[in-house]
Structure 1
Amino acid sequence: MLAVTLACTGCASVMNDSMHPVKVETKTQTGQLVTGAECKMTNDYGTFTVKSGDTTQVRRSSKDLDIVCRDPQNPDANARAISRANSGMWGNIIIGGGIGAIIDHNKGTAYTYPTWIQLVFGQTLIFDRTAEKEGQPTIGAQPADSTPAANSAAGQVVSAK
């Protein structure tokens, strides 16, 4: 009976809450921490706001988390936090809970974002939980398409005939 219940509810749903804590910090390009910047984090479940230096709860999702932090003294800091499957999803697959995996995927409970990120004003960074180290902020990386030529090409409109 217990096995049937777990298979139907999903392993990640049992192990993980639908909300996930994310600490957001902002830094200048010289590395100085700036607290109190207004940060908005958005995924397919909504927008969550936090002041830099604080931790907030965001809704888990299979979709990435887009973040913009604004401070009157600095250019915007932009980031994307990559959503990665967590141990609950793998538990579903290993134990044979295909139904549970589908439920947890649809509810978002099978996914986790990096738990501590530091955005840099004037930059766009990508944060991936696979680079996360216990007790340290996740290291942000420049997006692959951050070259001026790629950004220029991305902004062009191509008309189909």
Structure 2
Amino acid sequence: MKKIICVAAVASSLVGCASIVNDSSQQIRVETKTQTGEMVAGANCKLSNDYGTVEVKSGNSVALHRSNKDFDITCVHPSNPDATARGISRANAGLAGNILFGGGIGAIIDHNKGTAYTYPTWIQLVFGKTLVFDRSAEKEGQPVAPVEPATASK
């Protein structure tokens, strides 16, 4: 019986906490609006990070592979100038749980898989502007408030 418990304990320590709690990808809601605040659906948007590029029409959500690297997004619409932004990646609670309870192995696994990080979940780009969206400013049920690029820091 002790052998089974030991094997289970060792095996569970090799799996990252964030890997259990989080998928390797995350849904991000992308919206676009004019500088006067009018919502514009249907713009062609491309989100890119170190795992690749995904496309989505504004007004919809898309799955983006999680990473410790930020993502860049550009939305193009024929009636408006391009809208660009950066989404800041932040460590999530799974990484902290690994460090506190699981030790370094789980933290390394989750870091390498990207599951230890989370992006802003709802962003609204503004045509003609370059913005930064930081997950640390996220409030449930609301789009993340953008910050100007010069004021954003990791």
TM-score over 0.5 (shorter chain): yes
Counterpart pick for 2:110 among 104, 108, 119: 104
Shift of 1:130: 0.6
CA distance in 1, matches of 2:47, 2:13: 32
Point out 4+ residue stretches in structure 1 off by more than 6 angstroms.
none
1:114 paired to 2:123:
no
Structure 1 unaligned segments of length 5 or more: list them. Answer: 146-161
Residue 131 of structure 2 aligns with which residue? 125
Q: Hey, what does 2:56 align to over in structure 1?
A: 50
Does residue 149 of structure 2 align to residue 143 of structure 1? yes
The CA RMSD measured in Å over matched residues stands at 1.3
User: Is residue 34 from structure 1 mapped to residue 15 from structure 2 by the alignment?
Assistant: no
Which of 73, 76, 79 is equivalent to 2:79? 73
Structure 2 alignment gaps of length 5 or more: 1-6
Cα distance in 2 for residues equivalent to 1:6 and 1:68: 40
Contact 1:6 1:100 in 2 (8 A): no
Q: Which amino acid aligns with 1:43?
A: N
Output the amino acid matched with 1:123.
Answer: K
Partner Cα separation in structure 2 for residue 96 and residue 17 of structure 1: 19
The normalised TM-score by structure 2 is 0.91
* Aligned pairs, number: 146
Distance 2:42 2:36 in 1: 18
8 Å contact kept, 1:10–1:97: no
